[in-house]
Amino acid sequence: MAIKPDALEQHAAAQLEVEIIPGTEVMRDVNNIHFAHAGCSEKGSILVPHPSNDPKGVNVITLVFANILIVPLSDVFGRRPISITFGILVILSNIWQALATSHESFLASRACNGLVTATSETIMVQLIADMHVNHLS
């Protein structure tokens, strides 16, 4: 006889000593499976997504904050010079990533790459806005 889903959830709730709320996931350490908890404690909120040492994370963080630098630079010096300069820096940071010989060097190259590739998110939107305003004038 198979266990009904409701009975299975009730059994899991009793086993884990938690209340299962519809639409949620049970996130609790079980046996030898341990999650990362907030505040580096054994108990408390489980961090989702789970932190990792993935080098892409550094790239994404710098990609987000680089726009604070790129937007004012493109307003002062112009869109084209900044796009060309940062395009060259993208190529150099990609070469650095390919030639990195240590994990620290690779992470630093990913951080630099995130800073300079943010132009593709920022400058293109500004160019479209500039062209749209000129077209309506």
Asked if residues 63 and 90 have their Cβ atoms less than 8 Å apart, the reply is no
In angstroms, the CA 113 to CA 93 distance is: 5
Name which residue leads in pLDDT, 98 or 36. Answer: 98
CA torsion, ordered 20, 26, 32, 37, to nearest 10 deg: -120
Task: Phi first, then psi: give them for residue 37, nearest 5 degrees.
Answer: -100, 150
71-107 pLDDT per residue, tens: 999 999 999 999 999 999 999 999 999 999 988 898 8
Residues 6+ apart with CB under 8 A from 52: none
Can you read off the two tokens belonging to residue 75?
């307003």
**pTM assigned to the model:** 0.57
- What is residue 1's predicted lDDT score, i.e. its pLDDT? 47
- What is residue 65's predicted lDDT score, i.e. its pLDDT? 87
- What is residue 132's predicted lDDT score, i.e. its pLDDT? 79
47-61 pLDDT per residue, tens: 555 556 666 677 778
- What is residue 130's predicted lDDT score, i.e. its pLDDT? 83
